[in-house]
Amino acid sequence: MDETVLTALRWAQYLSLALLFGLPLFALPRNGLIAALAAVGLLVSVAGFIALTASMLGIRPTALDVETLTTVAQLPGIGTSFEVRSAALLLALIVCAVAPPLARAVAVFTGGIALASLAWNGHAAVTEGSAGILHLSADVIHLLAAGTWIAAVAAFLVTSIKRDSRGQLSSQLTAFAVPGTLVVASLVVTGSVNLVLIAGWPSLSMINSRYGQLLVVKLLLFTAMLGLAGLHRYVLVPALFNRSTEALWKLRTSLSAELLAALTILALVAALGRMSPP
């Protein structure tokens, strides 16, 4: 199986599940959007499971049969996480259809479960003993924190495009200041734990590997996102009160850059998850 396809499917899973979990925390997305995200998440999860199974067995996806897929789905770890993720996404779709008023709350719950289940698809799943419990816990928190941040940036960007959005946008960004700090702190702590448990203490020799180079790019992009978040909080949001078109345009541009950095980080995470650390 082409690694590019596997990485692309992992990226699509991260993004769809992050938005399904996070968007309802910051906005009131229509049930159609919630259902679409759940459906996309389910489709790419099934496709990713089939592709990963074929890669593990060293055969083409078209050579797989139902019996083989059923057997792999019953395995602890990758199989269990796939079943849990699929069940959560199906529940979100059902609620959207039969109980629309509950869709938002259920999306946060089921999206969180589906997003957290991806921890069993990466390096954390192979760490043993008490270190394995710590690794999985850190990975779950990392995924949920990342999903919160990505969805927040996407929600703020959508708000910035609306007409007469200065007041609403300023309120949203101001309200996210404290939760955003907690999200960043969670990402830093859990990311550090994950790095040490995956590759050991960082060293300059790591940069000589492809894994280390991609990791450095990821950290640089994360630092850039921190810088943009600080720019929003201390410069661009206060400037909104001047009601100038230029201030809103600058904030919209900055949010777009932050979202692009986040999407690139997701792609790097998807690639790193398929690589062996040095």
Contact 180, 229 (CB under 8 A): yes
- Give the pLDDT confidence score for residue 246 in this predicted structure: 82
Angle at 105 between CA 41 and CA 13, to 5 degrees: 15
Q: How far apart are CA 48 and CA 16, in angstroms?
A: 13
Two tokens, residue 164: 């007469």
Token pair of 207, please? 């940069």
- The neighbour count for residue 245, using CB atoms within 10 Å, is 8
Between CA 172 and CA 179 the distance in angstroms is: 11
Q: What tens-digit pLDDT sequence spans the chain (278 residues)? A: 578 888 999 999 999 999 999 999 988 788 999 999 999 999 999 999 999 899 888 888 888 889 989 998 888 888 999 999 999 999 999 999 999 999 999 999 999 999 999 998 877 777 777 888 899 999 999 999 999 999 999 999 998 888 777 778 888 888 898 999 999 999 999 999 988 888 777 666 777 888 889 999 999 999 999 999 999 888 888 887 776 678 888 999 999 999 999 999 999 999 988 887 77
Q: What is the pTM of this model?
A: 0.92
Q: Nearest CA to 35 among 76, 90, 77, 80? A: 90
Percentages (nearest 5) of helix, strand, coil residues in the chain:
85, 0, 15
Which pLDDT belongs to residue 1?
54
SS3 28: coil
**What does the alpha-carbon distance between residue 125 and residue 142 come to, in Å, rounded to a whole number?**
15
What is the predicted pLDDT for the residue at 29?
81
Query: Domain-by-domain residue ranges, the chain?
Result: 1-121, 129-278
Alpha-carbon span 99 to 71, nearest angstrom: 34
What is the C-alpha to C-alpha distance for residues 246 and 171, in angstroms, rounded to an integer? 19
Residue 104 has which token pair? 């938002």
Dist CA 22 CA 3 (whole Å)? 28
Indicate the residue type of 20: L
Q: What pLDDT, on the 0 to 100 scale, is given for residue 114?
A: 97
Residue 42's contacts (CB-CB under 8 Å, 6 or more residues apart) are: 86, 89, 90, 93
What gap in Å lies between CA 70 and CA 32, rounded to an integer? 31
- Which distant-in-sequence residues (6+ apart) come within 8 Å of 159 by Cβ? 27, 165, 168, 169, 172
